[in-house]
Amino acid sequence: MKAKQDIFDLLSLLKVFDANYVSDEDCLKLNGLNVNQPDDVITAVRSLLLPEFNTYPQGSQQRLIALLRSTIFESSEDFSALFDRIELAFDNEVVDKRAFMSALLVGIESDF
């Protein structure tokens, strides 16, 4: 990961899926979703991330999207530094972190 600030910025997107942050009600929305299936990740994004993301100022939204896009396209990035800092509330572990982040981006951009 490029810089510590980039990690924290991307963590701000993932916190809605963090087992230590998500409410019991929101956790139920993730129940049964497969974190390794792009359509399920997009469903989770629409359900939990977009309501919060849409409250961010437009400049912040664009900056986070640009950061996410550039990090995904950086071939040497494996997202370990990011995923080591969070415990996702999904039923299963993320197998392909880049695919998860790519699906997250698709979910965000589909609403943007």
pLDDT tens per residue across span 49-92: 999 999 999 999 999 999 999 999 998 889 999 999 999 999 99
pLDDT of residue 57: 97
Q: How far is CA 68 from CA 18, 26, 29, 64, in A?
A: 18, 24, 24, 6
Query: What is the distance of C-alpha 63 from the center of its chain?
Result: 15
The backbone torsions φ and ψ at residue 3, rounded to the nearest 5 degrees and listed phi first, read: -140, 160
pLDDT value at 1 more than 70: no
Question: What is residue 88's three-state secondary structure?
Answer: strand
pLDDT above 70 for 2:
no
pTM: 0.93
